Amino acid sequence: MKKMLKDKRLFLLNYAIIMKKRRRECTMKKKMKIQAFKHPNIPHYEWEGEMLEKTDDYVIVLCKPGRELVHHTKGRVFTLENTTIELFPLNEWYTISCQIREGEIKSYYCNIAKPSEITEDAITFVDLDLDLINKFGEWEVVDEDEFIENSEKYRYSNDLIEKTKKELRKLKEKAEKNALPFHQKIEEYMKKAV
């Protein structure tokens, strides 16, 4: 009886380890649609990329040159000719897009957004307008006017406005301390995927 219990526990432990590993395994070449919405759920823009990694905490996507960005808000389609590695945290209030050129990160574009959600073939997030960017070695907050305009237009609650500002401050502090989340992962994937 003890041996059966030990075997059953060992089986369950191994099964749990295997399932956890499968969830974390790199899913190279899996196409994902990425959809950005305006609050509360209005289509804003979308594009496609290849999933590099999915965990319980985030998804990492590679976007290659030649992809189309369908911009619903502007009613236009753009062809993007850059390579990016994009990070979509599932429990944090931002997304990060790193533009890669000649094997180096050339710029960061961080959206303050509600935590991303993932389905079998799509990643979605609600863009809350405020952005933190770094193109020339300096961090800058952009689209503050858009945030004010959209907070009225889409009737952001006071709680949402305060949460958005707080999350921007937290991300800016991390960026200025060179402690952006996933920085090491980005460099790993740059070497493998670009």
Range of the domain at 177: 31-193
Which of 72-76, 101-105, 131-135 shows the lowest per-residue confidence on average (mean pLDDT)?
101-105
Q: How far is CA 2 from the centre of its chain?
A: 47
Q: Which residues pair with 76 in a beta bridge?
A: 71
- Summarize pLDDT for 29-44 with one digit per residue, the tens: 699 999 999 999 999 9
Beta strands in 41-103 (DSSP E): 42-54, 58-63, 67-71, 76-80, 83-89, 94-101
Is the pLDDT score of 101 beyond 80?
yes
pLDDT at 26: 46
The CATH number covering residue 78 comes to 2.40.380.10
pLDDT at 12: 46
Instruction: Please give the tally of structural domains in the chain.
Output: 1
Decide if 1 is inside a domain.
Answer: no
Decide if 137 is inside a domain.
Answer: yes
Residue reference for tokens 């493998």 = 192
- Summarize pLDDT for 41-67 with one digit per residue, the tens: 999 999 999 999 999 999 999 999 999
